[in-house]
Amino acid sequence: MNLELFNHIERAPDPSKALDMFPQLSAFYSALGNTTLMPVPGPEGGASILAKLEFENPFGSVKDRTAFGMFCEAINNHDFHKGSLKLLDSSGGNMGRALAMLGNLCNIAVHLVIPDSSPDVLVRALREANAQLTLVDSRYFLLGLMARAQEIALADPGWTLLAQHLNLVNVAVHRHGTGQEIRRQLRGGKAGGWVAAVGTGGTLSGVYAALAQDNPALNVLGTTPKELPFGTLSPPNGRDKFAGAGGMGFGFRQPFITHMKLNKLPFNLIGWQESLAAMYEFHKLTGIRIGASSAANWKSACRLAQTLKPGEQVVTLFADAGNDSDLEKGEVFFTSANRSNPAKIGY
């Protein structure tokens, strides 16, 4: 399998050609980004925590940004005289949804390689958006998905493989988009900490590059599932874990993270049940629905905030708003965890 990074670009792709060719994208484009940066509960006596609410994006997740960036780049690079553009990528969920919706809007074929454990509601939504699907045994996780997508692209070069794990448009979109928005929203203040879950690592590395412009000593904390942590030597597995993130297995590391060349990048490990319980806890405290990776980031941000001083700011990102089923399970996990350890909460 090829793990080489490509598209070494200095800025997010120019959307002009895509918007000219497909004026139906304009409503999506005007609703994309500029999401709220909101103070959220944190530990007493520690730094305050600000969360970027990415579920405000038009298709409901942070991946709307990355999908649109890679979509524009593919359009910019494609010679439409030679034939139609056909897009292929692997996805655990949110990227697939965003690409399928964009493809459907513009009548561009989209082929998605997804785990065979994907929820029925996602599979139905992707099919309704006319995406072609290839299902891969979920035990192989990210490596299995990436390898299968590369195999499809090799067999039929008519597909443009977007390769969200290797395509540096992913990092550029966060460095020049999400990250610069956060800097503006901090109004001249600086972040003392940055916390993000690592799926591709595009969000963590891109926003880090932007925030480090104001604070080269920025404390970064990655969030990763306990069941398959970032960098683990263990083989991949199909165990329940918070969605959107995870290690690749066999000691492989997400290439965007390796590319950052940070001396120190600690990770906070969050278990599946803990992430779902935190979804419920956050909803109970604030009335706001967040997904499991967002809740895991919130817990990690609380941990980092405890180590920083009052007056400092930890920024994190809520990738999506999750689903009813996880929130219901979260209530059960939260209730049983707090029956055995009631002293744990309190802000």
Ligand X SMILES: Cc1ncc(COP(=O)(O)O)c(C=O)c1O
Binding residues (CB under 6 A) for ligand X: these are: 61, 63, 92-95, 197-204, 243-245, 291, 293, 319-320
Nearer to ligand X, 63 or 241 (CB): 63
217 close to 338: Cβ distance less than 8 angstroms: no
Strand partners, 221: 195
CB of 54 to ligand X, least distance (A): 9
Which residue is at the shortest CB distance from ligand X? 244
CB of 246 to ligand X, least distance (A): 9
Nearer to ligand X, 46 or 162 (CB): 162
230 close to 247: Cβ distance less than 8 angstroms: yes
CB of 57 to ligand X, least distance (A): 12
CB of 19 to ligand X, least distance (A): 24
Nearer to ligand X, 106 or 295 (CB): 295
CB of 75 to ligand X, least distance (A): 21
Nearer to ligand X, 273 or 316 (CB): 316
Q: In what order do the strands lie in the sheet with 48-53?
A: 37-40, 48-53, 313-318, 193-197, 219-225, 267-270
Helices marked H in the chain: 16-21, 26-31, 63-77, 94-106, 120-128, 141-155, 169-173, 179-185, 202-211, 255-260, 272-286, 292-307, 324-340
Q: Is 210 exposed, middle or buried (0-12, 13-18, 19+ CB in 10 A)?
A: buried
Check the CA dihedral 4-154-13-145 and report its sign: negative
Nearer to ligand X, 295 or 308 (CB): 295
CB of 200 to ligand X, least distance (A): 3
Q: Find, among 207, 228, 268, the residue nearest to 51 by Cα.
A: 207
Nearer to ligand X, 89 or 281 (CB): 89
Nearer to ligand X, 122 or 312 (CB): 122
What Cα–Cα distance (Å) separates residue 198 from each residue in 195, 206, 230, 243, 268?
10, 12, 8, 10, 11
CB of 199 to ligand X, least distance (A): 3
* DSSP output for 88-129: EEE-SSHHHHHHHHHHHHHT-EEEEEEETT--HHHHHHHHHT
The Cα 130–Cα 86 span in angstroms is 13
CB of 196 to ligand X, least distance (A): 7
Nearer to ligand X, 21 or 262 (CB): 262
